Structure 1
Amino acid sequence: MKKILVLVTLFLLPISIYLFFATGVNNFGILPVLVNNVAEIQNFKTSSGAKLQLKDKITVLGFFGKEPLETKAYTYNLAHKIYKKNNAFKEFQFVILLPEGTENSAKILKSKISEIAPTESWKFGFGTSQDIETVFKSLKSGYQLDSRDASPYVFIIDKEQNLRGRNDDEDVQDGLVYGYNSADIGDINNRMSDDVKVVLAEYRKALKKNNRDSKIKPKE
């Protein structure tokens, strides 16, 4: 009898493993689009005067307000748990939108980030309060900016300027996750870390497919 049980277990184990991964692909293969056409950020510039854009980039977008040094805990959470792991991906960027006049504070924060990872893909963009509000409202997240143009929530924007998130999260009443609370290390380390991986994996897969297709020569 023991031999029969062992044989049955060995037979069922590969099937169980297959079903586990198949389920994972179905549930997490693509992160849902929650909002289309997030406002472009062409009105914002870096401290060096360079313009910024969401189009053709995978972006983590944040709003840290008029006193960004007070949000340094958010910055460190994101830098350690998300940015450090993914900044080598060519088309991935962090963009934190700040009001004009906060350039010195942003410089201090960027110096601290450089101790964690290279900062080429971490960008602070400066604009007016109206510009910041316009972009934030286009996310249609239901969250609000505070009186300092700040929010602890950060957002994943894909190359087509769509907001990505969850529509079936069991820990949220309506299942919808528009953004990730950068003040909550658990939210960043678990939910957001997983979702960024899913989006990057989606584009890596598409890139590999395009590279394979480009190598296939048509018949003459």
Structure 2
Amino acid sequence: MKFISKKRIVLFLLFIFPLLFYLVLSSGINNFAKLPIVTKNITDIALIDSSKKVQFKNNISVVCFLGDDISNIKGGVFNLNQKIYKPFYGFKNFQVIAIYPKDKEAEVQQLKKEVGAFTNMVKWKFVASSEEEIIALYESFNINESLHNLQATKAFIVDKEVNLRGRTDDKDQKDGLLFGYDMNSVAILKDKMKDDVKVLLAEYRLALKKNDADRQI
């Protein structure tokens, strides 16, 4: 009897336990609240980046549009840096992309210097482009708000599959749809955007665990 019991224990550890673990893991992944897609298949920034070094594909990106008046958006950029960039820049494939008109290079260099005074800028990506390309990229987000002087006061979340992520049940929006996060509001960045980036990171982390579990079975 002792031999049979030990044999059953060994069989359980080798075969049954991994199966049960996989089922629990799969259940957790399927029931996990994912960050909604609000616009599918937006334009990848790789199409307008002349350096050919920046892309949305396979990255978790926070995107902002600096526009013609860099001084006007500087406060929002500092907020974004403190509340979103610094907590997450250590995560693999995370990046913050700032898009600006080509003739604003000098102002953007100054901005980078100021933001970088107390920040590791390794995951900040600054992309210069033409007015037409900036507008075309923004319009692919399919948002019912226009750029003002190529500038948006909101930052956006783009996933690895180049979809725009946001909220479909936001209590502060009439239709519940939240496409972007006001960079001038520390509360929105801290209470909404930070939480949503966490959800997206967790979503990909759980998907990776599921893939690892699939390979082990």
- Same fold at TM > 0.5: yes
What is the aligned counterpart of 2:91 among 86, 89, 92? 89
Matches within 5 A, 1:146-185: 146=148, 148-185=149-186
Corresponding letter in the other structure for 1:39: T
What is the aligned counterpart of 2:64 among 54, 62, 65? 62
Structure with more helix by fraction:
2
Q: Does 1:120 align with 2:149?
A: no
Counterpart contact for 2:46–2:52, Cα < 8 Å: no
Rounded to whole Å, the distance in 2 between the matches of 1:90 and 1:108 is 27
Identity of aligned residues (%): 37
Which secondary structure does the structure 2 equivalent of 1:142 belong to? coil
Q: TM-score, normalised by structure 2?
A: 0.80
Q: Does 1:136 align with 2:112?
A: no
Rounded to whole Å, the distance in 2 between the matches of 1:196 and 1:188 is 10
Rounded to whole Å, the distance in 2 between the matches of 1:42 and 1:199 is 22
What is the aligned counterpart of 1:39 among 43, 50, 72? 43
**CA positional deviation for 1:67:** 2.2
Partner of 2:23: none
Rounded to whole Å, the distance in 1 between the matches of 2:102 and 2:136 is 15
Matches within 5 A, 1:192-203: 192-203=193-204
Rounded to whole Å, the distance in 2 between the matches of 1:115 and 1:212 is 43
Rounded to whole Å, the distance in 1 between the matches of 2:175 and 2:66 is 27
Alignment RMSD, CA only? Answer: 1.9
Rounded to whole Å, the distance in 2 between the matches of 1:43 and 1:32 is 25
Rounded to whole Å, the distance in 2 between the matches of 1:104 and 1:43 is 24
Counterpart contact for 1:41–1:53, Cα < 8 Å: yes
Counterpart contact for 1:64–1:149, Cα < 8 Å: yes
Residue-by-residue CA offset, 1:101-157 (whole Å, 9 max, x unaligned): 2122222222222234311111110110000000100101111101x2101011100
Partner of 2:109: 107
Residue-by-residue CA offset, 1:75-124 (whole Å, 9 max, x unaligned): 11000000000001111111111010212222222222223431111111
More displaced 10-residue stretch of structure 1: 123-132 or 109-118: 109-118
More displaced 10-residue stretch of structure 1: 130-139 or 61-70: 61-70
**CA positional deviation for 1:50:** 4.7
Rounded to whole Å, the distance in 1 between the matches of 2:111 and 2:48 is 18
Which secondary structure does the structure 1 equivalent of 2:153 belong to? strand
Count of residues in Structure 1 that have an aligned counterpart in Structure 2:
188
Counterpart contact for 1:59–1:93, Cα < 8 Å: yes
Which secondary structure does the structure 2 equivalent of 1:167 belong to? coil
Which secondary structure does the structure 1 equivalent of 2:167 belong to? coil
Partner of 1:98: 100
**CA positional deviation for 1:170:** 1.6
Corresponding letter in the other structure for 1:107: Q
Residue-by-residue CA offset, 1:155-213 (whole Å, 9 max, x unaligned): 10000011111111122111110111111222111111111111111112222333444
Corresponding letter in the other structure for 1:38: I
Corresponding letter in the other structure for 2:35: L
Which secondary structure does the structure 1 equivalent of 2:56 belong to? coil
Counterpart contact for 1:154–1:181, Cα < 8 Å: yes
Rounded to whole Å, the distance in 2 between the matches of 1:43 and 1:206 is 28
